[in-house]
Amino acid sequence: MRTVGVEEELLLVDPDSGEPKALAAALLTRAVQDDPGQDLFQSELFGQMLELATRPHTDMADLGAEIVRSRKEAARLAGEVGGAVAALATCPLPVTPALTEAERYRWMAGQYGIATQDQLVCGCHAHVAVESDEEGVAVLDRLRPWLPVLCALSANSPYWQGRDTGYVSFRSRLWGRCPSAGPTELFGSPGRYHEQVTDMLASGVILDAGMVYFDARLSVKYPTVEIRVADVCLRAETTVLVATLARALVETAARDWRAGRPPAGHSVSLLRLAAWHAARSGLDQELLDPVTMRPRPAPEVVRALLEHTEQALADSGDAPLVEEALGELLRRGTGAREQRGVLERTGSLQEVVTECVRHTQS
């Protein structure tokens, strides 16, 4: 059974106003005081962000329990330094990001200019174990057309700087401004993958391999494929759903590779259109079908994802969990739909943040 670990980025906010608050340094100091060896929480590009990283799990219930515990611990620590945490992929309220004092982040701000200021965005990364770089690259080649569906399921960023963007995952559009972000061409071999990373580093546009922001990549730290397309999910159970489907996609891709089934040859241009479509309307209208790259009702594309990963989900015992979680998500709607529902009821973006703080800690 492949292991799965998750990294979630959370927004730190003022509990009264809902405005983002640069509390990461104070929170991390408090965390280290409580546990000098803690490695659950880390700083991020801006002081209004906090990253948590779970351990790898084979059992999805265990993963879900750790995500809930970690979010509650983040909320406790934030409360002790005068803040709160919200699983929001973008901030609904106007904000001026506060750059974290670190050489790497200063380099990014100098290199990318004003585009860096747009990166106060919170994502969710799923790490799925692979046996080797050979298997990992074969998986990357076969994941490509399915990744926009994961973005649609996680969509949780309709607002930006006080405005409705018209998107359900505006985070993914902002993130796409990074020069190394987005879908990739087919690699075909580990050698070609590593050659491309080497060429990107030699260009001087990025500082290190950690800035190779492909939608899915070989992790620079772990023996995993790292899937990076999801918004941070409003609810922990959605995070578990995305992680479970990520594992099933990796397992299905590895089996297809071993069976000699080639990857789909879709161009990067089409994959970019699929990603845009997912970010624009998510589950509410249409997605591009991963096989045909033609518009199709979103629920049908989600069902196609389940059919594509059916055997892997059955073998892991995750099929009932996925069916239940997907049914609930389609009934209730994504985080983006929930955020818009709060604004419709209250007329207040501050209330949107307050409600999301509550869901994050529940």
Question: Does the pLDDT value for residue 81 go beyond 90?
Answer: yes
pLDDT of 361 strictly over 90: no
> Counting Cβ atoms within 10 Å, is residue 260 exposed (0-12), middle (13-18) or buried (19+)?
exposed
DSSP category for residue 204 = T
DSSP line for 182-201: B------SHHHHHHHHHHHH
Confidence of residue 362 (pLDDT cuts 50, 70, 90): confident
CA–CA dist 13, 54 (Å, integer) = 22
Please state, for a pLDDT cut of 70, what percent of the chain lies above it: 100
Is 90 exceeded by the pLDDT of residue 16?
yes
Write the pLDDT tens digit of every residue in 309-351: 999 999 999 999 999 999 999 999 999 999 999 999 999 999 9
Q: What residues does each domain of the chain span?
A: 4-361
pLDDT at 207 over 90: yes
With 0-12 / 13-18 / 19 or more C-beta atoms within 10 angstroms meaning exposed / middle / buried, residue 305 is buried
pLDDT digits (tens, 9 = 90+) for 89-138: 999 999 999 999 999 999 999 999 999 989 999 999 999 999 999 999 99
pLDDT of residue 295: 98
Per-residue model confidence (pLDDT) at position 62: 98
Asked if the model's pLDDT at residue 54 lies above 90, the reply is yes
Q: What percent of the chain has pLDDT over 90?
A: 99
Backbone angles phi, psi at 255, to 5 degrees: -65, -40
CATH top-level class for 4-361? alpha beta
Q: Determine the Cα–Cα distance for residues 179 and 200; give it in Å rounded to an integer.
A: 10
Nearest in space to 94 (alpha carbons), one of 321, 310, 353, 292: 353
Give 243-264 pLDDT, tens digit per residue: 999 999 999 999 999 999 999 9
